[in-house]
Structure formats: C-alpha cells, structure tokens
Chain A
C-alpha cells in the first residue's frame, strides 16, 4: 500500500463476511483491480468523484420528489462510489439458484390458482393460502399466456457469515430498483474512466431490450401495443417508470389514460381510442381495478380485470403473484422446489419461525434478543422488531401485538449481512449490504441480467438497507 490511509481504520465487524477482506485480512482477488485504482487515487480525488456522482444524479434527473408544504424537494437515492464486486463463479451459483427458485414459484402460483395439488398433497396447508391477503380469488382458473405469472422479479439475497447466499425475500409483485442498476453503472463509467473494461465487468445495458423482448413475446401480434402503467408523478419510483418507458420506446400511461370498452383496454389518444395489448404495470394489485379491488383507487382502470380474464389484454406481472412472496409462504419455498422440480434448493432460505406455532413462538420469545420479527404482509422494512436493538418495553409491546394474531408474524435469527467497503468521510468503512438481481421470465425461459442492485445500510452498524430507512446503493460488478 502506498502512503494512502484509505484502508487504515477498516474495522471489520465480528463474525461477518466481508466482501473485500478475507479472514486473514487479505484482499479477495476479485477486488484486486479496483484496489489498485484506489491505491493510486488520493482521498481528495475520491471526494471529488463523490460530489460528481451526486451532481450527475441530479442533472440526469435520477431523483424522487419529496413533497413538503406544497414545495417539492428533489432527492437522490444515496450512492456509494465503491463498487461491489462478485466473481463469475459466485454469479453462476446465484443465477442457477434464482432460476430454480423462480421456476418453482411460478409453478406454485399456477397450481394455487388452478388444481391446487400442493394443498391436496399436504405440502402446504390450505388455510395458510386462503387466509393470505395476497391470495386473489379473482385469479382462480384464469389462463395466463405461456403459464408465466412472474415476468419480472427482484429476489433479495444476503450473504451470511458462512459465505453462502441466502434468499431474504422473493419480490414477485412490482419490484423496483432496476433503473438504479442501470444508472449506477452509467455513473461508474463516468467516475472511473477505463476501469470497467480493465476489470472485465459484464454489461447491464441490455436489460431494457431484454425486457421489451419478453413483453413482446407474450403476444402473437407482430407489433403489439405495449404500455407501462405508472401510478403517476407522485410515486417515488416515477423516475424508474419514465426511464424504462423511454429506454424501451413504449408509452408511459396513467390509469386515467386508459379506458375499458366491451372488455378491451384502450388508451385515449388524439386520434381516438387505441387498443392496448400488454400492460407492464407498476401499480399494485389492490389499486389495479376499482371494480374488483380497492374501490377508491384512481390509479387503476375500471374493468381491466374482466378484460384480462377474457384474454383481451395481458397484465405483467400477473395479478395475484403476491401469494408466492408472502413471508408466511416463504417458509415453504424449499418444499416447493422439491415438490415441483424434485431438486434440492440451490439457494438457502433463512431459518424462519412461524409464530402461529406455539412451540416456535415460545422458542422465539426465549431468544428474542437474537431475533428479528416481521409481519407476514409487511414490506419496506416497516413494522419490524430487531431484537438486539429494542428496549424491553418495545419488546413487550411488540409481543403483545403478536399475541393478538400470531399467525401474521414470522421471526428469523438476526443475520450477519455481509459488509462491503464504502467511501465514507474520506476513508473506507465496512457497511452491510444485500443484493437484488433482476430476473425476466418469458415464453422461452428465464434470463437474469448480470448485475443487480446492491443496497447498503449507510448507517454504521445498521442492518436495514431499505431506501426508506437510510439505505443507499452501489454499482454491482459481475466479473467475466
């Protein structure tokens, strides 16, 4: 190392896997290329790059608006300039594992909305399915093109201290973040000239083309009318919606731009109504159709579900996929893989306790300081209890809530999320990270873009990577 104290003060967390250092405090080889660059770059220069990154996000409009007293403030999703590096071998494993998992989950959704063999064979209890708020009776018996329910998914992975990747959750509804995968890379290209090709980093820029191809394949038409349905400019992922529409060259529509007539969906154009064939929707199931779900929703389109059931329009992802990424169902995914594919799961699940079972509730209560408790229908890191941080009072209150409906809660041991180096206050410091690769399923199988969104808990010692709670992101490099 040169006279560069970037690496001093790197305090590895105890019993935690670090992405850059191995247990002997040596650099892992996949970081060699970037470390060489860092060693020859002064902290002043790195700080300048950090500022440049912020400016680029702003000037490219990669922002979301926070409304306060009628005044909109543009915010950027915090970005750490040091990339997270994944080896080809690691990626191969991740890729195979996610493909296997999605194959099983898709079969599960098809089964659940049709014959329900998995319930009949006693693998998953029926009451668990029926009591799940994400189970859509409206989808029973609906035939979907090529039997694909989950076209776009963003499975969240974490690396535990054994070095293995575990699935934290399967995001099978309207996962977001892919625009940050793309944008983070564009920023890296500008921050570190020449470094990406030198490191043989795989490109992610084909994602929009791949997504378009997958969407188009769903129709027999040579030129299907594909649109992206957004909840509108107030949605925090609006930037992503505009970007994907622009990069695919498709129309970005809001619910009020669409209308259903005689069970066909049309968009309102200056020369009349034009039929819509495929809708990549970024509106949740609940808001999709005020006639069938939340009647107060103005984000969706009245009658769209009826048009869908008649096969006159395709909705992507299919409604009702939430049944498969529910936290209570998660426990059964390894069983699903065995049941539908007769295979051993390649990616592990995190040990999960169902608090509806008295013995498991008792175990969790006893070990609560080492547990994180989550609501089965929660997301975004809300409504969680982190046992090691909570006060006795908070634990008491939380358990009180749990006791009212224990089957709505699960618990997992507090994980040692792996750490990656982040550039913070002029030095490298380890911060906890996860990984969300984006997989696209279609007529001809599953493709996973070689990259993903690495989310990082920027607060020291924090395990919560959600953007709503102080999380940021990193560029994710998959090496050739």
Chain B
C-alpha cells in the first residue's frame, strides 16, 4: 500500500473517532451542566479539546456547543475534524468502500448545510448532538459491513483505537483535575459517573456493580475491562491485533513496534488496582499516553521511511 494512503487511512479513522468522542462529551456535559453548572462548567471542556493557543471561553451552553461544533478557528471543531476526515477519505477512494466514502461525504454536507446552525439555537440541543453522533455510528457500521478485511481495514483500525485510547485517557484526566479540587465524596462520585457516561459505559457499570459508586470499580472498568469496547485494555488489545496483522503482511516493521504494543498490553492487563492507586492514576495514565505516542511515532516512521 502507498505510504501516503496508509497515513490517510489512519487519519480518516482517527478524526472520525475523535469527532464521536467529543460529541459524547458535549452531550454528557450539557446534561450535567444543566443540573449543576458549578461542578460541570464548560471551561475545562474547551481547554482540553482545543489547541493550546485557544483564547475563546464561554459558560453559555449553546455558545460552547456552537464553538465546539462549527467554529473554523477551533482545530478540533467537529466541522474541522469532519472536513479533514473527508479530505483523507477523498484521496483514498479506491481503497475504501464506495458506501464509506458516501457516508463521510454526506456527513460533511450535513454539517455544512447552512440551516444546521440555526437548529442548534432553536431546537433541542441534545437531539442536535445525537443527530451528529448518528453519522459516526453509521460510519462504524458501514466500515464493518462493507470494508474487506485487509490492509486498508487494519490501518483504519489502528487509527481508530489509537485515538480511542487517547480520548479515554484525556477524558479521565479531565475528570481527575476536577476531582482533585473537591473533598466531598458525593461530588467525586458525580465526576466518576460523568466519566462513565462520557465514554458510554454507565449502563454497563450499573449492570455489573449496580448503583453503588466505588472509585476502584470505575477505574478497573475504564482501564482494564476485557468486554467493554471503550475500555483502555479492550482498545489496546484491538490495536495490538491490527498491528500484528500488518506486521504479518509486512506492511509494518516488527522491530520496536511488536515490543512496544506487547509491553503496553501486558502492563495494563497485569496491573492490579492497588498497584494503580499506589503509583497514582495520573501517573498510570501518563505512562499509557507515552506508550501510545511511541507506538504512533513508530508507525509514522514506517510511512516516512522511504521518503
């Protein structure tokens, strides 16, 4: 596969995954913010998901959503993310299924429809966000059903799971900052619940642990659960599987990559909650992010190697 194409495919899925994550975060924060604006303000959301030099902040829910969805100066606005996803998809049309390209293109047209922005102002903002998220669900379903399992699919999945691990880590860090500011255990439990909601794991948590909030249970589920598709372990496991396929087909070099992904996988799998608490969740997250960044750099090196 052309190196540029591999790069485009990875980024196509990274952007789509990022968009989906940011949309869920916005929706969950919107609900929480309407309950208790002092606990769930918008500033940390904006701060964590915009470029470092962003100067725009607002505590008005609709203005914030508008900024996070439509603002073209915000590099992580959904509009910018989807535009970039579409550009990546557009230049690899002969590698992705026709349906997948049409899906991304239609999402882009939906977002750029001049009447959409008005809908956010005048209609139900939750439905507005849900309608956007639906495009991501369709994207994932379309990929699953129409894309042959092969190099393109593996690279796309590498992008998707790299991004998803990053997002879970970032969402958790975001909540930890807030948790650190309070000593009230009820408030703390609100934040943990909010984290679960943001990554779509609340229902699964209830089914497993019922309605009792235990910090260790949440951390174990978010980081180590084997069945929950948005746990860090699950994603790293998938990442490892797709990287292995690419190594087997000689699309990626074995060298550091196999070692790095194997090390990350086992360090999450064989760590106990006591161990995590001992080193501090923040440090644990930090080391995961560092490993992910190393893996990403190593993959980049592959498509830059023969330049």
Q: Is the CB of B93 within 8 A of A257?
A: no
The size of the chain A interface, using a CB distance under 8 A, is 30
For B278, the chain A residues whose CB sits under 8 A away are none
**A242 and B3 form a contact (CB under 8 A):** no
Q: Mark contacts of A235-251 with chain B using CB atoms, 8 A cut-off: 1 yes-contact digit, 0 otherwise.
A: 00010001101100111
Contact residues of A between 324 and 353, Cβ < 8 Å to B: none
| A197 lies within 8 A of chain B by Cβ | no
Q: In the complex, how many angstroms separate the beta carbon of B69 from the nearest chain A beta carbon?
A: 16
Query: B3, A270: Cβ atoms under 8 Å?
Result: yes
Partner of A61, one of B1, B101, B307: B101
> Which residues from B are CB-within-8-Å of A249?
94
Question: Which single member of A58, A243, A259, A270 contacts B251 (CB below 8 Å)?
Answer: A270
Contact between chains at A269 and B94 (CB < 8 Å): no
Return chain B residues, CB-CB under 8 Å to A254: 4
Residues of B within 8 A of A58 (CB): 109
Q: Name the one of A61, A74, A252 contacting B102, with C-beta atoms under 8 angstroms.
A: A61
- Size of the chain B interface, CB-CB below 8 angstroms: 29
A window 214-259: CB within 8 A of B: 233, 238, 242-243, 245-246, 249-254, 256-257, 259
When chains A and B are docked, how far (Å) is the Cα of A32 from the Cα of B302?
Answer: 61
* Chain A positions 442-471 with a Cβ under 8 Å from a chain B Cβ: none
Inter-chain CA distance A259–B2, complex, in Å, is 12
Pick the residue among A70, A243, A267, A270 that contacts B302 (CB under 8 A). Answer: A270
| Chain B residue with the shortest CB-CB distance to A55 | B109
Say yes or no for B306: interface residue by CB 8 A criterion: yes
Asked whether any CB of chain A lies closer than 8 Å to the CB of B293, the reply is no
Are B307's CB and A233's CB within 8 A? no
Q: In the assembly, what is the distance between CA of A245 and CA of B101, in Å?
A: 14
Q: Which of A238, A246, A257 contacts B4 (CB 8 A)?
A: A257
Nearest CB in chain A: distance from B109 CB, A: 6
Instruction: Name B249's closest neighbour in chain A (CB-CB).
Output: A271
Residues of A within 8 Å of B246, CB to CB, are 270
Quick check: which of B51-59, B83-91, B137-145, B216-224 contacts chain A, the rest being far away? B83-91
Q: Does B106 contact A (CB under 8 A)?
A: yes
> Does residue A68 face the partner (Cβ distance < 8 Å to B)?
no
Contact of B2 with A253 in the complex, beta carbons under 8 Å: yes
Instruction: Kindly state the separation between the CA atoms of A70 and B151 in the bound complex, as whole angstroms.
Output: 33
- Asked whether A61 and B94 contact (CB < 8 A) given A71-B72, A251-B2, the answer is no
CA separation between A246 and B307, bound complex, in Å? 25
- Residue B199, interface by CB 8 Å: no
Question: Is the CB of A9 closer than 8 A to any CB of chain B?
Answer: no
Which residue in B83, B93, B251, B303 is a CB contact (below 8 Å) of A72?
A: B83
Contact indicator A59/B4 (Cβ below 8 Å): no
Residue from A71, A252, A270 in contact with B91 in the complex, judged by beta carbons closer than 8 Å = A252
A310 at the interface (CB under 8 A from B): no
* B307 cross-chain contacts in A, Cβ below 8 A: 268
Q: Across the interface, do B2 and A233 meet the contact criterion of CB distance under 8 Å? A: no
Shortest CB-to-CB span from B13 to chain A, Å, is: 16
Give every chain B residue within 8 A of A193 (Cβ-Cβ): none
Residue pair B1, A270 in contact (C-beta under 8 Å): yes
Knowing A242-B94, A246-B94, A251-B94, say if A268 contacts B3 (CB, 8 Å).
yes
- In the bound complex, CA of A233 to CA of B91 (Å): 7
The yes or no answer to B6 lying at the interface (CB within 8 A) is yes
Q: How far is the CA of A213 from the CA of B29 in the complex (A)?
A: 57
- 8 A Cβ contacts from A257-316 to B: 257, 259, 267-273
CB of A233 within 8 A of CB of B303, answer: no
Contact of A269 among B3, B72, B102, B106 (CB under 8 A): B3
Please report which residues of chain B, range 239-261, place their CB below 8 angstroms from some CB of chain A when the two chains form the complex: 246, 250-252
Give CA–CA (A70, B83) in the complex, Å. Answer: 12
Q: How far is the CA of A71 from the CA of B105 in the complex (A)?
A: 16
A245 touches B1 (CB 8 A): no
Q: Give the CA-CA distance A433 to B177 in the complex, in Å.
A: 67
**Closest CB-CB distance, B99 to chain A, in whole Å?**
12
The residue of chain A having its C-beta at the shortest distance from the C-beta of B98 within the complex is A246
**Min distance, Cβ A186 to any Cβ of chain B, angstroms:** 12
- Choose one: B5, B87, B94, B151; the contact of A233 (CB below 8 Å): B87
Q: Indicate which residue in A60, A74, A243, A272 contacts B306 across the interface (CB closer than 8 Å).
A: A272
A252-B94 contact, Cβ under 8 Å, with A268-B306, A268-B307, A272-B306: yes
Taking a contact as CB atoms under 8 Å apart, the answer to whether B1 and A59 are in contact is no
User: A271, B83: Cβ atoms under 8 Å?
Assistant: no
B1 and A269 within 8 A (CB):
yes
Closest to A243 in B: B93
A269-B93 in contact given A59-B102, A61-B105, A72-B83 (Cβ < 8 Å): no
Q: Name the CB-closest residue of B to A248.
A: B94
In this complex, the member of A251, A252, A270, A272 whose beta carbon has the largest number of chain B beta carbons within 10 angstroms is: A270
Contacts of A233 in B (CB 8 A): 87, 90-91
Q: How many angstroms between the C-alpha atoms of A351 and B302 in the bound complex? A: 59
Per the 8 Å Cβ criterion, residues 83-119 of B in contact with A are 83, 87, 90-91, 93-94, 98, 101-102, 105-106, 109, 112
Contact with A along B2-43 (1 / 0, CB 8 A): 111110000000000000000000000000000000000000
Report the minimum CB–CB distance from B289 to chain A (whole Å).
25
Chain A residue numbers with a CB within 8 Å of B6 are 270
B101 to chain A, nearest CB (A): 7
A242 to B250: give the CA distance in the assembly, Å.
27
Closest to A271 in B: B250
Chain B's closest residue to A61 (CB) is B105
Taking a contact as CB atoms under 8 Å apart, the answer to whether A268 and B105 are in contact is no
Q: Is the CB of A59 within 8 A of B106?
A: yes
Closest CB in chain B relative to A173 CB, distance in Å = 24
- Given A256-B4, A270-B6, also A242-B306 (CB < 8 A): no
Residues of A within 8 A of B112 (CB): 74
User: Does A257 lie within 8 Å of B2, measured CB to CB?
Assistant: yes
Chain A minimum-CB-distance residue to B4: A257
Contacts of B306 in A (CB 8 A): 259, 268-269, 272-273
Instruction: State in angstroms the CA–CA spacing of A72 and B306 once bound together.
Output: 32
- For residue B156, give the distance in angstroms from its CB to the closest CB of chain A: 14
A245 touches B94 (CB 8 A): yes
In angstroms, how far is the closest chain A Cβ from the Cβ of B302? 6
Mark each residue of chain B from 275 to 307: 1 if its CB lies under 8 Å from any CB of chain A, else 0: 000000000000000000000000000110011
Query: A74–B90 Cα gap in the complex (Å)?
Result: 13
Q: Does the CB pair B2–A267 fall under 8 Å? A: yes
Given contacts A60-B102, A61-B105, A273-B306, contact A268 B2 (CB under 8 A): yes
Closest to B251 in A: A270
For this complex, 14 residue pairs linking A to B, each with C-beta atoms less than 8 Å apart, are: A61-B105, A242-B94, A245-B93, A246-B98, A251-B2, A251-B5, A252-B94, A254-B4, A257-B3, A268-B2, A268-B307, A269-B3, A270-B1, A273-B306
A252-B91, A259-B306, A270-B1 known, 6 other contacts, Cβ within 8 Å: A61-B102, A74-B109, A246-B98, A249-B94, A250-B94, A273-B306
Residues of B within 8 A of A (CB): 1-6, 72, 83, 87, 90-91, 93-94, 98, 101-102, 105-106, 109, 112, 151, 246, 250-252, 302-303, 306-307
Shortest Cβ-Cβ A-B pairs, 7 listed = A246-B94, A270-B251, A61-B105, A271-B250, A242-B93, A268-B306, A245-B94
